[in-house]
Amino acid sequence: MSEELRENASVEPQALRATTNLIAHARTELGRVISGQTHAVEEVLIAVLCQGHALLEGVPGIAKTLMVKTLGRLLGLGFQRVQATPDLMPADILGTSILRPGTDTFTFHAGPVFTDLLLVDEINRMPPRTQAALLECMEERQVTSDGTRRPLPTWFTVFATQNPVDFEGTYPLPEAQLDRFLMKIRVSYPTEAEELQILERHHAGRGAGLLEDVAILAIPEGMLEAARAEVRAIRIEPELYNYILSLTRRTREWPTLLLGASPRAALSLMRVAQASAAFDGRDYLVPDDVKRAIPPVLRHRVMLKPEAELEGFDADRVLADVIAAVPVPRQ
């Protein structure tokens, strides 16, 4: 990397004030409701800061829905939840035009997609036609209905959950839709100490639920917008552009992969790496930021060859091999 970057490595950045305050506030307030899940909570917050969508994968009952609802309260954003079922139609989430009584005119009735944070629970239970209806929303942040384009809110973000063990009655997500998710976040079981804290908190509550028992203090107005601008402004040296490209392009020729990362994946990797640097309090990128971002950004975008799966490989293991094979830029 450049000499200037090395000289500034020990300087306290002043360009991340809003981001630093937001992260500290989020850790405090979310910790009052969510026990553990520190890594998953940070990645959910990164998705919002990067203005990208996230796929949360984990077994039922580990606070995936609660995590997103609490984040909405913290950020002062609107929240809607859609429970995916095999009979869910596109109009159920996008909205539909309704004939006004006593007139010959139609009025558009907005669906739950017109919100800031949209939680699609068990998205793989949604039929392909309805899954396809989300593609325009996720990529262009708009809904086209009756030939009219209707913009979605500025902070529109999709958080979709998926159960990794229940495949009966599900529809696998197409690659085109998976590629539109900025990250795939794996939510694991809490530790024994964290699970004990969950029991104690629920026993001490009033029974309405932790989110209702705890008054979440929302961030000041304008802080989220300022933090997002700071993350986008994090400096990237030319060597790291080449490093990001080398990693994504190597996946396209890796022997155990049938499908490698797309150009959109390289853009997502850069954005998430910038947010990772901000979480470390730096206003510049280093190779470790890129390495940290690779599993959540690429694990759902690469496809293993059948023989590799039979040999026990998974996406994270292959990506670790790719990271080890690509030379790190000299610092």
Which pLDDT value is given to residue 8? 44
CATH number for the region 33-215 comes to 3.40.50.300
Reported as half-sphere exposure (CB side, CA atoms, 13 A), residue 169 has a value of 7
Bridging pattern class, strands 95-99 and 303-304: unpaired
Q: What pairs with residue 186 in β-bridges?
A: 57
What's the pLDDT tens digit per position in 146-171?
888 999 999 999 999 998 877 777 88
Which pLDDT value is given to residue 297? 97
Residue matched to tokens 């670790």: 320
For residues 44 and 185, is the Cβ–Cβ distance under 8 A?
yes
Continuous segment of H or E residues that includes residue 120: strand 117-121
Residues of each domain in the chain carrying CATH 3.40.50.300: 33-215
What's the pLDDT tens digit per position in 57-103?
998 888 898 899 999 999 999 999 999 999 999 999 999 888 888 78
Helix ranges (DSSP H) in 32-99:
38-49, 64-75, 90-94
Q: Is the dihedral of CA 295, 299, 303, 307 positive or negative?
A: positive
Residues of each domain in the chain carrying CATH 1.10.8.80: 1-15+233-331
Residues of the chain with pLDDT under 70: 1-14, 206-209, 331
Continuous segment of H or E residues that includes residue 97: strand 95-99
User: Considering only the top CATH level, what class is 1-15+233-331?
Assistant: mainly alpha
What does the radius of gyration of the chain's CA atoms come to, in whole angstroms?
A: 21
Q: What are 311's two structure tokens?
A: 């040999």
